[in-house]
């Protein structure tokens, strides 16, 4: 029997620990979409896109992707992330964390303004995050979202992503395709009749 590749196992272990940690932190949360899927599906999909579409092999990026919403949306502290996953992963998570003290519109504007100044790792996570969100809004829209609201989200996501370009062509192309599909679907959906 051949010896297992220990560095590979070590990497898988760290990544699985991050998934375990994020699953625990997000355990009571659901996505806003009509299917209200468990929240953890979201960061897992973001990390999977980065690995499988973006072909990114940097473990710290994948770990930060799994953890990307823990500080923003759960009780997780930066100290916990440093202790368990190291400074590099924490720094990337902090880069993609919105300041929830600010009003929503200000936060959204800041994302557009900050995008070009993010590190490559943070840009990659933003790209994948926006792909997953656009696909979710398109395929299982949150209840009560009008066509205008979806349109607004798509436009805003496109602006954020414009600031993240130049780091991963595969993910950028994947975003463009997802956005085109979402806009097409929106255009072909007849307006709802509320009369």
Residues engaged in binding Zn ion (CB under 5 A): 69, 129
How far is residue 179's CA from residue 159's CA, in Å, rounded to a whole number?
Answer: 12
How far is residue 126's CA from residue 65's CA, in Å, rounded to a whole number?
Answer: 9
Q: Please work out, in degrees rounded to the nearest 5, the angle formed at the alpha carbon of residue 61 by the alpha carbons of 21 and 114.
A: 105
How far is residue 34's CA from residue 37's CA, in Å, rounded to a whole number?
Answer: 8
As measured in angstroms, the least distance from the Cβ of 49 to Zn ion is 11
**Nearer Cβ to Zn ion, position 132 or 167?**
132
As measured in angstroms, the least distance from the Cβ of 17 to Zn ion is 20
**Nearer Cβ to Zn ion, position 70 or 85?**
70
Q: Which residues pair with 30 in a beta bridge?
A: 38
| Residues designated as active site | 72-73
**Nearer Cβ to Zn ion, position 69 or 95?**
69
Residue whose C-beta lies closest to Zn ion: 129
As measured in angstroms, the least distance from the Cβ of 68 to Zn ion is 6
């Amino acid at each position: 029997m051949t010896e297992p590749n220990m560095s590979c196992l070590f990497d898988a272990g760290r990544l699985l620990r991050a998934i375990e940690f994020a699953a625990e932190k997000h355990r009571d949360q659901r996505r806003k979409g009509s299917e209200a899927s468990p929240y953890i599906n979201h960061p897992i999909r973001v990390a999977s896109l980065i690995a499988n579409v973006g072909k990114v092999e940097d473990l710290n990026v994948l770990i930060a992707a799994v953890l990307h919403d823990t500080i923003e949306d759960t009780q997780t502290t930066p100290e916990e992330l440093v202790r368990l996953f190291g400074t590099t992963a924490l720094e990337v998570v902090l880069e993609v964390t919105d300041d929830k003290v600010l009003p929503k519109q200000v936060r959204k504007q800041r994302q557009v303004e900050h995008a070009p100044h993010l590190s490559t790792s943070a840009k990659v996570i933003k790209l994948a995050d926006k792909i997953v969100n656009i696909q979710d809004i398109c395929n299982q829209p949150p209840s009560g979202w009008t066509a205008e609201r979806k349109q607004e989200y798509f436009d805003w996501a496109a602006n954020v992503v414009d600031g993240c370009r130049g780091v991963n062509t595969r993910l950028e192309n994947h975003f463009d395709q997802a956005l085109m599909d979402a806009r097409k679907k929106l255009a072909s959906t007849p307006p709802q009749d509320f009369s």
